[in-house]
Amino acid sequence: MLGSVRAMRSTERAEPPKTLRRAVCPGSYDPATNGHLDIIERAARLFDEVVVAVLVNPNKKGLFSIEERVEILREITADLPNVRIDSWRGLLVDYCREHSIAAIAKGLRSVSDFDYELQMAQMNREISGVETLLMSNNPAYGFVSSSLVKEVAHYGGDVKNLVPRVVFERLSAKFGHPDR
Ligand code: PNS
């Protein structure tokens, strides 16, 4: 006699999780690249809700203002219904605490990324318990970083295939090159 305990039939669905699984994709996004977008899209498939947070670094004057970065991110993620964009000044884990976010999702391009990301992940977990999910980057964008994109675009190099269309147009406008 098995009592009331029985195995779940394959046709039955597991109970949905009671809490919303929410993650944050933090970054400077100055500007967002195809590599960033790839990670955001993949995180959006793993979590119920993803917040892309533009972190304000008061010591770094970026090329794009925080408002521009947010605007660009809104535009390029417009087709992802469970993604929203925000900005934050301060500790990332304080943002997580205020918005009930249990996980940070980030992309890893290389071992040099890994050293830095692991250190931050360990620090964030130590001071708050927030976990970090490090996702392997699409190798097609392994060499793409916001700073290299800006440098190449500054000198008129072609970054068309490395960034979303809107970013390419805005870079061309900023540096006075035609958006071919
Ligand atoms: O795109 P970036 O510049 O590599 O992103 C780094 C960022 C903004 C995610 C990181 O510097 C950060 O989390 N800054 C917020 C301040 C903070 O929480 N610092 C402690 C990190 S352990």
Question: For residue 136, what are the β-bridge partners?
Answer: 108
Residues with CB under 6 A from ligand 1: 26-28, 55, 91-92, 120, 123-124
* Parallel, antiparallel or unpaired: strands 22-27 and 103-108: parallel
Structure confidence at residue 177 (pLDDT):
79
> What single string gives the DSSP state of each residue in 22-44?
EEEEEE--TT--HHHHHHHHHHH
Neighbouring CB atoms inside 10 A of 163's CB total 26
Atom number, ligand 1, closest to the C-alpha of residue 93: 18
Strands (E), the chain: 22-27, 49-55, 83-88, 103-108, 131-136
What span, in angstroms and rounded, lies between the C-alpha atoms of 64 and 140? 25
Residues 6+ apart with CB under 8 A from 60: 28
Q: What is the pLDDT of residue 11?
A: 60
Active site residue 160: no
Ligand 1 mean position, distance from CA 92 (Å)? 7
| pLDDT of the residue at 37 | 98
Mean pLDDT per 10-residue run, the chain (180 residues)?
53 64 97 98 97 95 97 98 98 97 96 94 98 96 97 97 98 85
Ligand 1 centre from 28 Cα, in Å? 8
| Phi and psi at residue 54, to the nearest 5° | -85, 115
| CB 82, CB 47: distance < 8 Å | yes
Whole-number Å distance, alpha carbon 55 to ligand 1 midpoint, is 7
* Residue 60 appears among annotated catalytic residues: yes
Nearest CA to ligand 1 atom 2: 27
